[in-house]
């Protein structure tokens, strides 16, 4: 088998290996399926007008997300180090520059920033476990459920406390390491979550507003689509698949040689997209049935689902289980968000995994207070994209992840030689050719175009030429 140009026969990861192909797929799926699917997708789709956004999102997932995910995994497996060191090593090895390490560096920073607010919302789900279990939503009206949410996020101490508990949980699993920590957490979560989504879906179908929900999600109203919402769809595709920031690259570093990257990526993309669509189908009918607005923002899921559970037979039980599963899904995603930074500290500064995790975890916890306060004390402090939370979200999802994905695709498609990539992907004829066209042309140009168009630069250049 062709090996890298440096000639070392088989590189090994410092952090251990996945015990099987299934373990890898489960771990990447665990990282991909999270708040992004169930909390973020419906609310961003709602804010951006529904159908047209969903269609653009699906196109982004297939023609950009899938090839970028494959690129990221193959780079990770070839380098077998943390994303910073892997990009540096491969940059040199492929005859380019060690400065590619900055792509890994951007991922480390991106993960820290994303988790800083992700943990806050994950904290909300923890609080909602308790609220559901104690029957706070049983038979509650839409107004009561809404008031409960507003009063909860309005109190920075409660939000700060649940953010703290969630970060402690995340630190705990990441500190335990690849095999013991990451794998076990995922094994039951995804299937159980899927099952509960079907229960919700059945309820939605019976709500009488299913048709309206479906039509909101799948009938494109192109007049509602701005370049800003196209960028939001692209950002959502990256966010939900956990790509563009080295998380999947870090996981790829622990992937055994013989596993098919294409097959694993296809499985993850299918599961992730399926769960997001299911979440939308469950939520939008409930939004319309209860006279709520799809553009309600980050509180959307917390305002609709408790309402549905509150009216359902056995609702207290289902609601509790649902929020437990959502918290689990967030937990397995948080692991992916921390992994690039932790692996980097371990390798670069020779720290133990536990030390590195605590250091990074504390940093994220502190930064997270910017988002904790965005929903209460500092709610009126707005600039650029909105509150501190809005800005961190916009910067990471809509700028850093697409930019990271662009550079990763360029690296795999142009910088790495054909032999290196075909060695990793397996040169299976048309599939490899299709990946190469997507990674070299479609993904980079598509991302660049949307980024430039959304910030108005393209029109500015065009006006200069005209």
Contact 239, 35 (CB under 8 A): no
Closest approach, Cβ 364 to ligand PFF, in A, equals 13
Closest approach, Cβ 235 to ligand PFF, in A, equals 11
Check residue 31 for interaction with ligand PFF (CB under 6 A). yes
Q: Which is nearer to ligand PFF, 83 or 413 (CB)?
A: 83
- In the block, residue with structure tokens 């949410």: 149
In this structure, what token pair is assigned to residue 175?
């500190």
CA distances 153 to 204, 217, 363, 375, 377, Å, are 27, 28, 22, 6, 10
Number of residues interacting with ligand PFF: please give it, by CB under 6 A. Answer: 16
Contact 309, 137 (CB under 8 A): yes
Q: Near ligand PFF by CB under 6 A, which window of 17-25, 31-39, 293-301, 350-358?
A: 31-39
- For 96-123, letters b (16+ CB in 10 Å) and e give eeeebbebbbbbbebbbbbbbbbbbbbb
Round to whole Å and give the CA distance between 212 and 224: 17
Contact 87, 253 (CB under 8 A): no
Check residue 111 for interaction with ligand PFF (CB under 6 A). yes
| Residue sitting closest to ligand PFF (CB) | 36
Q: Near ligand PFF by CB under 6 A, which window of 33-41, 59-67, 130-138, 302-310?
A: 33-41
- In the block, residue with structure tokens 């309005």: 154
- In the block, residue with structure tokens 């299976």: 428
Closest approach, Cβ 223 to ligand PFF, in A, equals 29
Site track 304-343 with ligand PFF (rule: CB under 6 A), x = hit = -----------------------------x--xx------
Nearest to 333 by CA among 237, 256, 247: 247
In this structure, what token pair is assigned to residue 7?
């000639």
Round to whole Å and give the CA distance between 333 and 74: 20
Q: Which is nearer to ligand PFF, 69 or 74 (CB)?
A: 69
Q: Near ligand PFF by CB under 6 A, which window of 27-35, 82-90, 262-270, 294-302?
A: 27-35
Q: Near ligand PFF by CB under 6 A, which window of 81-89, 239-247, 315-323, 350-358?
A: 239-247
Residue among 4, 13, 29, 37 that touches ligand PFF (CB under 6 A): 37
Beta-bridged to residue 383, according to DSSP, are 386
In this structure, what token pair is assigned to residue 338?
């921390």
Report angle CA 400, 402, 407 to the nearest 5 degrees. 90
Q: Which is nearer to ligand PFF, 117 or 318 (CB)?
A: 117
Check residue 34 for interaction with ligand PFF (CB under 6 A). yes
Check residue 236 for interaction with ligand PFF (CB under 6 A). no
Q: Which is nearer to ligand PFF, 156 or 322 (CB)?
A: 322
Residue among 190, 245, 267, 271 that touches ligand PFF (CB under 6 A): 245
With H, G, I as helix, E, B as strand and everything else as coil, classify residue 383.
strand
Round to whole Å and give the CA distance between 50 and 66: 22
With left for phi above 0 and alpha for psi between -120 and 50, is residue 392 left, alpha or beta?
alpha
Q: Which is nearer to ligand PFF, 370 or 404 (CB)?
A: 404
Closest approach, Cβ 338 to ligand PFF, in A, equals 9
Residue among 25, 27, 32, 319 that touches ligand PFF (CB under 6 A): 32
Check residue 36 for interaction with ligand PFF (CB under 6 A). yes
Q: Near ligand PFF by CB under 6 A, which window of 15-23, 30-38, 315-323, 420-428?
A: 30-38
Residues in contact with ligand PFF by the rule CB under 6 A: 31-32, 34-37, 111, 114, 239-240, 242, 245, 247, 333, 336-337
């Amino acid at each position: 088998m062709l090996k890298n140009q440096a000639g070392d026969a088989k590189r090994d990861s410092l952090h251990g290996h996945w015990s099987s192909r299934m373990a890898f797929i489960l771990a990447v799926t665990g990282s991909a399926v999270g708040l992004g699917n169930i909390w973020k997708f419906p609310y961003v789709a709602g804010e951006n007008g529904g159908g047209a956004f969903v269609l653009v999102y699906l196109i982004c997932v297939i023609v950009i997300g899938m090839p970028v995910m494959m690129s990221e995994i193959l780079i990770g497996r070839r380098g077998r180090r943390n994303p910073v060191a892997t990009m540096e090593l491969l940059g040199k090895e492929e005859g380019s520059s060690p400065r590619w390490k900055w792509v890994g560096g951007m991922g480390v920073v991106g993960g820290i920033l994303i988790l800083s607010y992700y943990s806050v919302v994950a904290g909300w789900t923890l609080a909602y476990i308790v609220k559901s279990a104690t029957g706070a939503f049983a038979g509650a009206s839409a107004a009561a459920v809404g008031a409960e949410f507003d009063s909860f996020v309005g109190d920075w101490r409660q939000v700060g406390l649940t953010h703290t508990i969630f970060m402690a949980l995340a630190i705990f699993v990441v500190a335990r390491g690849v095999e013991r920590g990451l794998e076990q957490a995922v094994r039951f979560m995804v299937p159980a979550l899927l099952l509960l989504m079907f229960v919700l879906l059945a309820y939605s179908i019976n709500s009488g507003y299913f048709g309206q929900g479906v039509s909101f999600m799948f009938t494109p109203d192109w007049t509602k689509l701005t370049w800003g919402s196209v960028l939001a769809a692209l950002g959502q595709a990256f966010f939900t698949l956990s790509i563009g920031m080295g998380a999947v690259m870090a996981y790829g570093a622990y992937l055994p040689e013989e596993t098919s990257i294409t097959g694993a990526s296809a499985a993850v993309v299918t599961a992730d997209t399926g769960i997001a669509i299911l979440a939308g189908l469950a939520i939008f009918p409930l939004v319309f049935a209860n006279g709520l607005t799809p553009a309600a923002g980050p509180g959307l899921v917390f305002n609709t689902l408790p309402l549905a559970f509150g009216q359902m037979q056995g609702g207290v039980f289902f609601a509790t289980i649902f929020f437990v599963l959502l918290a689990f899904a967030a937990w397995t995603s948080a692991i992916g968000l921390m992994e690039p930074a932790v692996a980097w500290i371990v390798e670069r500064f020779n720290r133990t995994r536990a030390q590195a995790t605590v250091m990074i975890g504390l940093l994220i916890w502190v930064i997270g207070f910017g988002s904790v306060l965005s929903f209460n004390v500092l709610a009126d402090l707005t600039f650029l994209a909105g509150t501190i939370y809005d800005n961190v979200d916009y910067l990471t999802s809509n700028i850093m992840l697409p930019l990271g994905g662009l550079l990763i695709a360029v690296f795999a498609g142009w910088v790495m030689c054909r032999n290196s990539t075909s060695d990793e992907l397996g040169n299976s004829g048309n599939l490899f050719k299709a990946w190469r066209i997507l990674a070299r042309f479609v993904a980079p140009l598509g991302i660049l175009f949307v980024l430039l168009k959304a910030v108005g630069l393209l029109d500015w250049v065009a006006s200069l030429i005209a």
